[in-house]
Amino acid sequence: MLTFIVRRGLWTVLVMFAITVLVFVIFFKTPGIDPVRQIAGRNPSPLVLAEIRHQFGLDRPFPVQYALMMKKLFITRDLVSYSNQGTLVIPEIFAAAPATLSLVFGAAIIWVVVAIAMGVGAAVLRGTVLDPLLMILALIGISMPVFWLGQVANLITQSRFHDTFLFSWVPPLGYTSLTQNPVRWFEGLVIPWIVLSVLYIGLYARVLRANLIEVQNEDFIRTARAKGLTERRVLLRHTLRNSMITFVSLFGLDFGVLVGGGALLTEVVFGIHGVGFLTYQSLTNLDLPVIMATVVYGAFFIVLANTLVDITYAWLDPRVRLA
Amino acid sequence: MTGEPLLAVRDLKVSFRTEDGLVKAVDGVSFTLSPGETLGIVGESGSGKSVTMMSVMRLIVDPNARFEGEVFYKGRDLMKLSREDMREVRGSELAMIFQDPMTSLNPVYRVGWQIAEQIRAHERISRRAAHARAIELLTAVGIPHPAERVDDYPHQFSGGMRQRVMIAMALSCSPDLLIADEPTTALDVTIQAQILNLIKKLKEDFGSAVVLITHDMGVVADIADRVAVMYAGRMVEQGSKQDLFYDPQHPYTWGLLGSIARLDRPKPRRLTAIPGLPPSLLRLPEGCAFGDRCPQRFDACAQVPELTAKAGSDHLDACHLAPGDKRERRERTIHPELTEEPA
């Protein structure tokens, strides 16, 4: 198990390196994108362009440019935004990260708990009306786009019914940090949490139900019953444990993507200034250093989540450890 | 063969509702089993052997299944037990091993843990003690280095070794009845013999009765005391091993025996086969289910024959033919080479 973790860790470093190279090539070497023009503003003279090119090290050979960028990104951490001169990119991301983490962690807890409950419930209640009912509910959840659902939630809680006792507690849009005011932090995030988790609840409940039903037909479940175990133990220890493998790998990927800025739409709709929001802004301005930094940040979490998934996977299924 | 039977199945019927209609998988099966006895149940695929014994264990969870009849185990009707009472019986008094050892163990738990889990489901015993028992059991079923192997996962065992683990698990609570559902079908021939010998030996050590489900007459000849032959969900013949092999009464049994290649007899030009296919369990023919394939068919076969003792007090068969009429016809079916003119 330990060798597995070490091996997986080294692999992670390699993947991270590959990602940074790839991102750098895409954003700095794609024909048609000249970062110098981005920095220089409208109608710059060739002299100014050359000046900036030299100043930002963009006249140096490609590997040097890459090394410089990585140095600014990881070692000196003084990468400066192009379109918003003077703003340091790394601190900006670190300042935005807690909002994203708060949003995604809360939503993840909700979606895992509710999806397991719904999936197990539907599988156990197979043959009754409740099973298709739960699955239709899940399908509705999957079908509602998060930006639409978010806007509807805002319409209801911020304007239409804000004055009723139901939603009068909902604070205005935005993010309050946990350290500043924990109650406000919670109140402000409840609606975004629910909105973000709806899609995943639907998806995960359906996946889990399908897996549970598949595993229920396995020979070893019959063995478990023949051993004289309680139905509850058969379900939780044997069926669910074997069904969680797909669930966990899906979760790791989705979680990594969301922490890495994938909750962009939710953040924009609810005015939460997290990493997704930052990515959104930098993409609209084509602010290369910020894009670079957010992508690397996002990739880091996705790769990290993947590693954690693989480790969990190996813990769940011993056959993976040797592979 | 004296005293109270350990298991008495009376008129067991199992049917499944399907889109095409009612499938009568088991249609009125009765038999008894004495303590310590080995009963072989033989029949083709789909003849209801497994379903019968799975129903005895109440392991069929299909909501479309319907059960009728009585299954008395030590005087208690298992079909009427509450789920919790049945759970207590299962695994501790009645244990079952299955056809495919490759898929019968949970891939994510260590084998020792899986054995200990069963012990702890039935006895108040510490984790450590259960683990020690698991090692003893693995020793008993002949797994080398049991103290190390106990912490291995199923995928680290070969098929034969996994079946040994299954047997160790089944015997972990010293059951009075072990049901083995084609335990050697998925294994290669040399391993088959090992597993059968193991079951024979452990049956003596643990004093369990055994029901062995198989479609291999050779296996039955090796290990069973009594044999029951099933066809299309019904029992067609039942008796001691001697009765069944030396004085078979039902034409279907003749067919089965005739299809065995024997080394101790002159070699036939070709093995006899039973013509045709078993009937669909959705639409059983009127009368004797074997009638359509039976070369001996006559008028009376339009009635369903009863399973009664015609050839001896403990030798039951479900054929309308009078025992006296059978001898010559039987020889022609089982040993055509002995009666045929040499070519």
Distance from CA of A317 to the nearest CA of B (A): 5
Which DSSP string corresponds to B227-293?
A: EEEEETTEEEEEEEHHHHHHS--SHHHHHHHHTS--SSSPPPSS-----S-PPPSSSPPSS-TTGGG
Please judge whether A229 and B88 are an interchain contact, meaning their C-beta atoms are less than 8 angstroms apart: no
Please judge whether B118 and A231 are an interchain contact, meaning their C-beta atoms are less than 8 angstroms apart: no
Question: What is the pLDDT, as a whole number, of residue B286?
Answer: 83
Question: What is the pLDDT, as a whole number, of residue B1?
Answer: 45
Please judge whether A229 and B92 are an interchain contact, meaning their C-beta atoms are less than 8 angstroms apart: no
Please judge whether B107 and A225 are an interchain contact, meaning their C-beta atoms are less than 8 angstroms apart: no
Distance from CA of B221 to the nearest CA of A (A): 27
pLDDT of A16 > 60? The answer is: yes
Domains for chain A: give ranges and CATH numbers: 2-88 (no CATH), 90-322 (1.10.3720.10)
Provide the mean pLDDT of chain A. Answer: 86
Tell me which residue in B88, B106, B166 faces A228 most closely, judged by beta carbons: B88
Tell me which residue in A127, A222, A241 faces B98 most closely, judged by beta carbons: A222
CA gap B167, B185 in Å, rounded: 15
pLDDT of A103 > 90? The answer is: yes
pLDDT of A39 > 80? The answer is: no
Fill in the amino acid letter for B1. M
Q: Which position has the higher pLDDT, A49 or B34?
A: B34
Question: Which of B96, B108, B169 is the best residue to mutate to test the A interface, defined by the most A CB atoms within 10 Å of its own CB?
Answer: B108
Please judge whether A227 and B90 are an interchain contact, meaning their C-beta atoms are less than 8 angstroms apart: yes
pLDDT > 90 in chain A, percent: 34
Please judge whether A229 and B166 are an interchain contact, meaning their C-beta atoms are less than 8 angstroms apart: no
Residues for chain B: how many in total? 343
Q: What residue spans of A30-161 are helical by DSSP H?
A: 35-40, 46-55, 62-70, 89-124, 130-143, 146-154
Distances, alpha carbon A89 to alpha carbons A40, A153, A275, A315, in Å = 18, 32, 11, 38
User: Phi and psi dihedrals of B229, rounded to 5?
Assistant: -110, 130
A234 backbone φψ class: left, alpha, beta (φ>0; ψ -120 to 50): alpha
Residues of B in contact with A227 (CB under 8 A): 90-91, 117-118, 121, 169
| CB-based contacts of A2, cutoff 8 Å, min separation 6 | none
Nearest to B54 by CA among B19, B23, B86: B86
Query: Helix, strand, or coil here: B160?
Result: helix
Question: What is the pLDDT, as a whole number, of residue A126?
Answer: 87
- Mean pLDDT over A205-230 rounds to 94
Question: What is the pLDDT, as a whole number, of residue B186?
Answer: 82
Whether A79 and A72 have beta carbons less than 8 Å apart is answered as: yes
Tell me which residue in B83, B91, B153 faces A318 most closely, judged by beta carbons: B153
Interface A–B counts its CB contacts (< 8 A) at 73
Question: What is the pLDDT, as a whole number, of residue B40?
Answer: 94
Contact of B144 with chain A, judged by CB distance below 8 Å, is answered with: no
Question: What is the pLDDT, as a whole number, of residue A144?
Answer: 92
Question: Which of B54, B88, B92, B106 is the best residue to mutate to test the A interface, defined by the most A CB atoms within 10 Å of its own CB?
Answer: B106
B212-270 tens-digit pLDDT: 999 888 888 888 999 999 999 999 999 999 888 888 888 888 888 877 777 777 776 67
Whether B161 and B105 have beta carbons less than 8 Å apart is answered as: no
What pTM did the predictor assign?
Answer: 0.81
Question: What is the pLDDT, as a whole number, of residue B343?
Answer: 43
Tell me which residue in B61, B108, B121 faces A227 most closely, judged by beta carbons: B121
- The DSSP code for A218 is S
- Residues of chain B short of pLDDT 70, as ranges, are 1-3, 268-269, 336-343
Q: How confident is the model at residue A243 (pLDDT cuts 50, 70, 90)?
A: very high
Q: By a Cβ cutoff of 8 Å, what residues of chain A touch chain B?
A: 127, 218-220, 222-231, 233, 237-238, 241-242, 316-319
Tell me which residue in A227, A242, A316 faces B118 most closely, judged by beta carbons: A227
